[in-house]
A = this chain, B = another copy of it.
Amino acid sequence: MKYGFSERVKFLKSSAVRDILKVINEGNIISFAGGLPEESLFPVKGVDEAFHKAITTSSKTLQYGETEGVPALKNALAEQMRKKGIDRDPGNILITSGSQQAIDLFSRVMFNKGDIILTENPTYLAALQVFESYETKVVAVDSDEEGMVISDLEDKITKLKPKCIYVVPTYSNPTGKVWSLERRKKLLALAEKYHVVIFEDDPYGELKFDTDVAPPSIASLDQNELVLYTSTFSKTVVPAMRIGWIVGPHQIIRIMAQAKQATDLHTNSISQHALVHLLEDFDLDAHIQLIRETYYERMIVMKELLDSVKIEGLSYIEPKGGMFFWVTLPEYINTTKLLNEAVKAGVAYVPGAPFYVSNPEQNTMRLNFTNSKPELIQTGMERLVHILESTQMNV
C-alpha cells in the first residue's frame, strides 16, 4: 500500500545526532556525541519525594489541566525569572512539553512558507529541523566569538525582511559560545528599529563555570515586547519530565496556547505539580552548583587532552558553561568521513556539518563532556587523539 503524505514531510529529517546515538548505544563505545546530562547527578530522592507529594496531595493533580500550565508552576517560574531580570507576568508564560515544543509551537503560529529566519551558523540542529518543517528559509548571519556580526545582521534584515532572529546566546549548542553584552544590546536595538521578533533559546544558561556574572539574557534587556525566551528543566532537574516554558508578548503566548490545545491539550501535569514541590522543598540552587562543578571538572579533563593533540591547525572554543566543545580541525580532515573509523576505535562524536545552515565546515566536530566520567573522557579522548594524529600521518 502506498500512502499519500503531506508536502511538509519532505522537510522532515531524522536528527543525525539521534541516529548516531541509536548506533553507539550498542557496544563498548565511549560517546561524546549526545547532549545528555550526567545521570548519576539526577536528584532521584528529591524527584521521588516531589512526585509522591504531587500524586497524593490532591486528586485534582491527576485530572485534566489547563493548556497554559499549572498556575503554581507559572508563578514559581515568574519569580525565578524575575530574580534574573526577566520581569514578566505569569500570564505571559506557557508551559511546554520541553523547550523543543516551544520552538515548534512558535513556528506553527508565526511562519508561512517562504518566511525568512536569521540564525547563527552553525546553530542548534533541532531548531533548524523545526523551521525547515514549516517550509521557511533559514539564512545564516556571519558571526564571530562575540555573537552575530552586527553589520551583516543589519544588512540581512534590511534586504531579506526576516520574520524572526533565532539565537542561542549563552553557552550555545553547538559552539559553546557566549554573546557579549554589547552584541546583545545591538541585536535588540536592530530588532526594535526594524520590528523583528527575537527568539532567545536558553537551555544552558544555568550551567555556567565562571563565578563572574554572565551577560544578562536578551529578554531581560527587552522593553518593547520583542523577545520570546525559552528554557527548560531538562538540564537542571531531569530530561524525562519534558517540562520547558516560554515567556513572551501576551498576544503571541495566547495564540501559542491555542495551538498547544490542538496539539496535546496540555503538558503532563503530574510532572508540573512535582516541579512546584521540588522548587519548594529541594535546594535546586545547591544542586545546580554541584552540576556546574562536576561539568567544569570534566570540561578541564577534555581540554587537557585536546591541548595534547599534536596537530597543526586544531582549535577550539573553551566553554565557559554548557555541555559542548566545538573543535575545528585542519581542512584535510572530514569529520563525517572519519566518524566510522572513530566508532570502530571505540569513540563517537557528532560531525559539525549538520549544524550549519549553509557552507558547512566539514572539518568541525562537537564533543559533549557532561555525560562521561573523567576516566572515560580520558580514555575516549586518547582514542580520538590517536585517530586524529594517524589521519594526519596518512595525508
Contacts and interface: CB of A to CB of B under 8 A. Distances in A.
Interface of A: 1, 3-9, 12-15, 18, 34, 36-37, 39-40, 42, 44, 47-48, 51-52, 55-56, 59-65, 67, 96-98, 100-101, 104, 108-112, 115, 126, 129-130, 133-134, 163, 195, 197, 224-226, 234, 238-242, 249, 251-252, 255, 258-259, 261-271
Q: How many copies does the complex hold?
A: 2
A133 to B, nearest CB: 5
Contacts of A133: 259, 262
Given A97-B97, A126-B262, 9 more contacts: A1-B195, A3-B252, A6-B109, A12-B259, A48-B55, A62-B238, A65-B240, A130-B263, A240-B268
B261 A15 contact: yes
B6 A112 contact: yes
B240 A1 contact: no
Nearest to A226: B1
Contacts of A65: 240
A281 to B, nearest CB: 15
B242 A265 contact: yes
6 nearest A-B residue pairs (beta carbon): A62-B238, A97-B264, A39-B59, A240-B269, A268-B268, A101-B264
A36 B64 contact: yes
A241 B97 CA distance: 12
Contacts of A251: 3
A241 B270 CA distance: 6
A373 B105 CA distance: 38
A12 B263 contact: no
A112 B267 CA distance: 27
12 contacts: A1-B249, A3-B251, A5-B110, A6-B110, A12-B259, A14-B261, A18-B261, A37-B63, A42-B63, A104-B262, A238-B270, A270-B271
Tell which of A62, A258, A267 has the most Cβ of chain B within 10 Å: A62
A134 B263 CA distance: 12
A274 B252 CA distance: 35
Contacts of A259: 9, 12, 133
A20 B225 CA distance: 30
A112 B224 CA distance: 36
Contacts of A7: 112
A64 B233 CA distance: 12
B100 A62 contact: no
Nearest to A56: B48
Given A6-B109, A42-B62, A97-B268, A12 B51 contact: no
A216 to B, nearest CB: 21
Nearest to A101: B264
A59 B44 contact: yes
A12 B109 CA distance: 9
Nearest to A263: B104
A110 B240 contact: no
A109 B3 CA distance: 11
Which of A1, A5, A55 counts the most B-chain CB atoms under 10 A from its CB? A55
A13 B115 CA distance: 23
Contact of A52 (B8, B12, B48, B115): B48
B195 A9 contact: no
A111 B39 CA distance: 40
A283 B377 CA distance: 46
Contacts of A63: 36-37, 39, 42, 238-240
Nearest to A103: B262
Contacts of A62: 39, 42, 44, 47, 238-240
